[in-house]
Structure 1
Amino acid sequence: MLLVNPAARGGRTLRLLEPVARRLRAGGAELSVIVGDDPADALERACTAVSERPDALVAFGGDGLVHLAVQAVAGTDVPLGIIPAGTGNDIAGALGVPCKDPLAAARTVLRMRSRAVDAARIRAGSADEVFAGVMCCGFDSRVNERANRRTWPPGMARYLVATLEELRSFRPIPFRITLDDAEVVEREAMLVAVANTSSYGAGMRVSPDARPDDGLLDVVMLDALSKAEFLRVFPSVYRGRHVGHRAVTVRRVRSVRLEALPQDAVAYADGERVGPAPVHCEVMPGALRVIV
């Protein structure tokens, strides 16, 4: 079952659909293509497909489509295949799926070699979902909020404009963070990220040592900084060097609860909006089988 996001990369991904489908069929796959009218319809169709126990549900798109597919396959024995075709393909990259060449990713799917990896359940507001990559809450999620309200400029430039806009008004957020239902941390922070894999946001290595199969989540906390210091530290996230900064703390846990004022903090998981604080995340060891 091939789950397709027709809007990925502004619709340009659809040009790759025919050669990818041809490659899968040439490799012996009996292929059905799923395209939803909207995300809710796509999820319903994906869940129906998984209930029919296909050999695999393959997400052809970016991290957002992978997030949707994870809702359908988590906790089942149907493996998840990924053919990266989005603006950001962080989950695929973290799991060892070829990200530069969709046809190479299609060949990976055809080999059907899968591994068990963790997922995480997240509850925020009325939402109860599963994510495979990174949940963010704080400055980065506020940037997402701004970017999603904009229609221009296109692509990643929209996020750059949103980042500059948010910097003008952002103030550190008072968080109450409960680790493994035992340790409570109260601090003002720029952001808190909960990572099952190492990167998000098209290559920001927020938790460079996170492993998707260790049964743990990495909680990355960036304490309050001046805007000048934040701008100095921020570029180092692309190489994962920010974790050595005095304001950064990383903890490994099985569960974490973030409390803050709902108007201050909203959770995004795998780049998709989940809901406002409070946020609760819990690891689901081995909940996914992924073709790699």
Structure 2
Amino acid sequence: MTICIVTNRHILTAQGATVSKEFLMTDSEFKLIVDMVYKACGIVLGDHKREMVYSRLVRRVRKLNFESFADYLLYLDEYKEEEFSHFINSITTNLTSFFRENHHFEFLKDTVIPFLINANKHSRRVRIWSAGCSTGEEPYSIAMTIAGAFPAGWDVKVLATDLDSNVLEKGMCGEYSASSVNGLDQEHLKRWFLRDKDGQLYKVKPDLQKYIHFKRLNLLQDWPMSGSFDVIFCRNVVIYFDKPTKEGLFNRYANILSEQGFLFLGHSESMGKDQKNFKSLGKTMYRKL
């Protein structure tokens, strides 16, 4: 076990090594940050996340030319309306890729879409929600899956929401580096993307963007959407929530899903045994009861 003692701006380990820190983050400051994040968006930050919190927020401390986290937190309290979105954006995690957990998209194509074509044949309307859409790879993957899969004349749309306004802006822009689209096959790239002359930037074509509406949304606050959804993707989001927050969110999803609607979670997430609103279909796929 390694024992660390914080002294001024240095961390002294049990082995005698000293690790220099640009700024000191005290226990009380870390706790205040943890409490604010949980209250704002339900994300639970344990002690093991302290270094992550430090490395992300220290960028704001530097950018605003403060000399300490204490000064930054005082500024955050005084100018909350202007700074709080930057604060939350710094903390939230945005790891994503096109067709991540591809079995979900295969199930969407092979099972969900045929079901919806039959179930919604009178309304010819389908709504899919990408909750926690990050920089847009997930909703664009959904759009690539549904494009051309429904009969002509159907009204099919994807709502893409996230708490982080910075990643939403990137998603709306629809521009990705060559490394970001590396996992896509040539068929998808040619059909749905425009490549710049250097081959280093790929822009989503309007024909794909038309399916998606991006919107900033805090999942723990009121939802302004009217009408129900047939499918919800909420992947690698609830992993950061505690049990009561997860249960409350799952209940709200059940209320807004259409009859026998589908819910997709991330590979390390699950409903838990006490959830009565959904039936597991395996591989973190669920159906509303």
Normalised by the size of structure 1, how large is the TM-score?
A: 0.31
- Which gives a bigger RCO, structure 1 or 2 (Cα 8 Å, sep 6+)? 1
Give the number of the structure whose alpha-carbon radius of gyration is greater: 2
Write 1 or 2 for the structure with the bigger share of helix: 2
Write 1 or 2 for the structure with the bigger share of strand: 1
Normalised by the size of structure 2, how large is the TM-score?
A: 0.31
